[in-house]
Each structure stands twice: as C-alpha cells, then as structure tokens.
Amino acid sequence: MEDILYCKDLYEPIEGDTAKPKDMDDEKWKRLHRKTIGHIWQWLDDSVFSHVSNETDAQVLWKKLEARYEQKTATNKAFLIRKLVNMKFKEGGSIADHLNEFQSVVNQLATMKMVIEDELQALLLLSSLPDSWETLVVTMSNSAPDGKLSMGQVSSSLFNEETRRKLAGTDNAQALVSENRGRSKNRGHKEHGKSKGRSQSRGKSAEKGKCYHCGKEGHLKRNCYAWKREQKEENNNQKKNEEKNTTATFEGDEVVVLSCGEEECLHVGNEIEWVVDTGASYHATYNKEFFTSYKAGDFGTVKMGNTSHSKIVGIGDVCIRTSVGCMMTLRDVRHVPDLRLNLISGIALDREGYMNYFGNGVWKLTKGSLVVARGKACCTLYKTNLKVCRDGLNSIEDGSPRPPGVSTSPSSSSPSHRP
C-alpha cells in the first residue's frame, strides 16, 4: 500500500505536517489529505472500513492501520516465527506460490525488525519440503559450497526440480506401495559362485531357474503343469458362470462389503489371486499368514453381502511380488477372516500417486514410467496374481511403529523369472 501511495505522489500526508511542501497552502494540503485517505479506503475490507471511516487525517489513519496489522508485539512475532517454521509445501502444489507465501512471512518479520539471515532462510525453505523431495534436500546439503546455502541457490533448484518432475510425470506423493524392480546386484554372482567347482548336475536347474507360480526349481511358469491346469479350470468356469462383482467400502468404523448373489466365487481360497477393486478404500485379506507385520485388535466390523457381520481382527503389512517382478509392500491391510477374496484397493493406490489403467480386459498399475503390476479381467472383476513373500521383510512386532523406508527383496533369495 505504501508503494502505491508513493507511485501516486500521495505519500506526504501519511508522514505528517512536517512533510507539507512550503509552497502549498492549507486548502490544497487538506485536499491532498482527503485524496490520500480516499485512495487507502479503496483497499480496505468492509469490516475494517467502519473503524476508520471518520478519519480526516491521513497520518492518523495510517498509524491506526499499522497498530491493527503490524503490531511489533512478542505475540505477533512468535506467531510469525511459528508459521514460518511449520510451513510445509503441499504435494502437487506450485513452487512459485510456496515461495511467495514463505517470503511474505519473512517480509512481515523484517518490518518488526527481525531480519532472518539468507542462509537460515534457505535452510527453513528446504525443511518445508515433503519427504518425496528428500533426495534434492540431501544433494543440495552435501554440495553446498563451504557448507553454506543461499536463497538464490535453493529457489533455483526448486524450480528446476519442479520442471523435471512435470516433464517426467513423477510429481506424486510418497507411495503407499514401494517397489523394487530389476535384477539383484548379486543375482548373477551368487548363482555362479554356488555352481563353481561342482558337477554339471545343477547346470540344467540353474539354467531353467525357479518357477514363480509353484516355487519349484527346474522349470518356468509357462511350463508349469499346475499353472496350466488352473488356467484351464478358470477358463471353463468363466464360460459357465458370470461372477458378480464384490466391493469393500469403508465408512467410519464399519466396513461394508457388498456382494450380489450367492454364486460360487472363482477366487475363493486361491492365495495368489487378488481382486483389483476401485470401490475398496483399503486392502483386505482373509489370510493372517500373509502379513509381515501385524497388529491385532478390534478395528470395526464388516457387513457381508448376505447381511451377516464379521470383525476386522487385525491390521498390518503384506509383502508381495507382482507378475512383472516388483517387490511391493501393501500398507495397512485389513484382516477379515470371513472375507472370501483378497482385495487390493485401486483407490488407495491412486490416492498415493499411483496410476490405475483399465481397458481391453487389462489392468495396469504404474508409477511414472515404471509398470509396477499387471492384471486381467475375469468375468466382471479385474484380478492380478501376487506371490506373498513372507520372508521379504523383517517382521515388526505387534503395535510397533513402521519405518517409512522402501522394502527390498532379500539378497539370499534365488533368482526369479518374469512370466
């Protein structure tokens, strides 16, 4: 506001009678006061205008507004400091807007004669970034010249990172599911190390690898008789029956599971099949043995399709490997013993930044350019094959906090192939 008055040559009245030009008479000085006051009133809210509408002296009006909005009290200073320290950048937001809000608080503190050094501003700005920006924070901290950062360096890096994320399509929140795609560093060395100096009797098994479906060595999934038999039975059942869809909707403390009809479910009792359900708010399973961490307790009830109720007896994490070779940890999975299907929530994954694609009888889960999981349509449901890795993660004691780190497959596991 003060800058606008200077641009309009209306700043002299707010400085008092001492700023009155010597060649200006009293009448013109009063009109200048009135003009300055009118210009200030244009920028006031109605709730504020009523308190200063009777003022005829621009300097008095200006001091009242300063006393109302720029009080240099300890309370106001503490409030602004708390606001600056607790300021957090929201995922998917604009870096320009965040910097503008940050600098606005810094400027307000400066008017109260509390000048924050440039290096401290840079550190506070870095601390306002979410966990998904941790790589940038660590990189800048380690590469700072003489261990000092400046606002110019940090601001420029934030804009560059925002542009990079938009181009790469990876501006997402921290994932509900963590993936580890690709081959283990010790994969080739471990296999060769074991076979070195031994007979060639293991050469055939090592060459063919381990079946992802049944877990036996000596053949691949595409040659697995058990998998072929299940596929044949599944195709026959699909032609005979039209399975009704099942969804799980979580409402407050109660989970409502909706089911149409009493037809036989093709997925009952199959440990590797999970139904991809966009209507489910959380992942759910009936098998307690799936969990790598587990907390028992009363977490609400489940209303089944036949109007019966079942309890949610536990919550935990389930470590699985997808059909494309990614290790995934499903967080906060509900344990419902009476549930007939394993449910993987598309909404929960989408809420955390993952992209679900449905079409032409195929489901695909992606994170940026990375394909995390695939599935296909069966009757009216989309399903995917997930192998539970009970030894994929170190189990966490019941009730203990869960670390936020990314899970990885154990280095001692034998190589697995992609079907």
Burial of 14 (0-12, 13-18, 19+ CB in 10 A): buried
Give the mean model confidence (pLDDT) for residues 362-377.
Answer: 87
Structural contact between residues 217 and 416, judged by C-beta atoms closer than 8 angstroms: no
Q: How far is it, in rounded angstroms, from Cα 168 to Cα 174?
A: 16
Identify the pLDDT of residue 306: 60
pLDDT in tens, 20-61: 877 888 788 888 877 887 778 777 776 677 667 767 788 777
Among 415, 409, 391, CA closest to 217: 415
Identify the pLDDT of residue 128: 92
Q: How far is it, in rounded angstroms, from Cα 243 to Cα 382?
A: 11
Task: Quickly state the pLDDT bin for 328 (edges 50, 70, 90).
Answer: confident
Give the mean model confidence (pLDDT) for residues 333-347.
Answer: 85
Question: Is residue 71 pLDDT above 60, yes or no?
Answer: yes
Strand partners, 319: 329
Identify the pLDDT of residue 255: 45
Instruction: Output 166-171 pairs: Cβ under 8 A, ≥24 positions apart.
Output: 168/368, 168/369, 169/368, 169/369, 170/367, 170/368, 171/91, 171/92
Task: Quickly state the pLDDT bin for 223 (edges 50, 70, 90).
Answer: confident
Question: Is residue 280 pLDDT above 50, yes or no?
Answer: yes
What does the mean pLDDT of the chain come to?
Answer: 74
- Whether the model pTM is above 0.95: no
- For 49, the token pair is 């205008």
Q: What is the percent of the chain where pLDDT is above 90?
A: 10
Which amino acid is it at 97?
D
Question: Is residue 203 pLDDT above 80, yes or no?
Answer: no
Identify the pLDDT of residue 21: 79
More confident of the two residues 198 and 25: 25
Question: Is residue 406 pLDDT above 50, yes or no?
Answer: no
pLDDT in tens, 254-265: 444 444 344 444
Identify the pLDDT of residue 129: 92
Lowest mean pLDDT among 10-19, 166-175, 374-383: 166-175
Cα end-to-end span (Å), the chain: 67
Q: How far is it, in rounded angstroms, from Cα 317 to Cα 178?
A: 12
Residue 401 DSSP class = P
Task: Quickly state the pLDDT bin for 399 (edges 50, 70, 90).
Answer: very low
Burial of 47 (0-12, 13-18, 19+ CB in 10 A): exposed
Q: How far is it, in rounded angstroms, from Cα 140 to Cα 266?
A: 53
Which amino acid is it at 123?
L
Q: How far is it, in rounded angstroms, from Cα 280 to Cα 255?
A: 9
Give the mean model confidence (pLDDT) for residues 74-98.
Answer: 89
How crowded is residue 345: how many other Cβ atoms within 10 Å of its Cβ?
Answer: 26
Question: Is residue 316 pLDDT above 80, yes or no?
Answer: yes
Question: What are the angstrom distances between the C-alpha of 198 and each of 29, 85, 158, 189, 259?
Answer: 105, 63, 55, 15, 57
Question: Is residue 417 pLDDT above 60, yes or no?
Answer: no
How crowded is residue 143: how many other Cβ atoms within 10 Å of its Cβ?
Answer: 10
Give the mean model confidence (pLDDT) for residues 74-99.
Answer: 89
Question: Is residue 335 pLDDT above 80, yes or no?
Answer: yes
Identify the pLDDT of residue 96: 93
Task: Quickly state the pLDDT bin for 340 (edges 50, 70, 90).
Answer: confident
Structural contact between residues 286 and 318, judged by C-beta atoms closer than 8 angstroms: no
Structural contact between residues 284 and 343, judged by C-beta atoms closer than 8 angstroms: yes
Give the mean model confidence (pLDDT) for residues 286-310.
Answer: 81
Task: Quickly state the pLDDT bin for 101 (edges 50, 70, 90).
Answer: very high
Phi, psi (deg, nearest 5) at residue 35: -65, -40
3-state secondary structure at position 222: helix
Identify the pLDDT of residue 89: 92
Domain ranges of the chain: 2-69, 74-168, 244-388
DSSP secondary structure, 140-208, as one string: HHHH-GGG---HHHHHHHHHHHHHHHHHHT---PPPSS--B-S--TTHHHHHHHHHTTS-GGGHHHHHH
Identify the pLDDT of residue 238: 65
Based on its alpha-carbon atoms, the radius of gyration of the chain, rounded to whole angstroms, reads 32
* Residues acting as catalytic residues: 277
How crowded is residue 375: how many other Cβ atoms within 10 Å of its Cβ?
Answer: 25
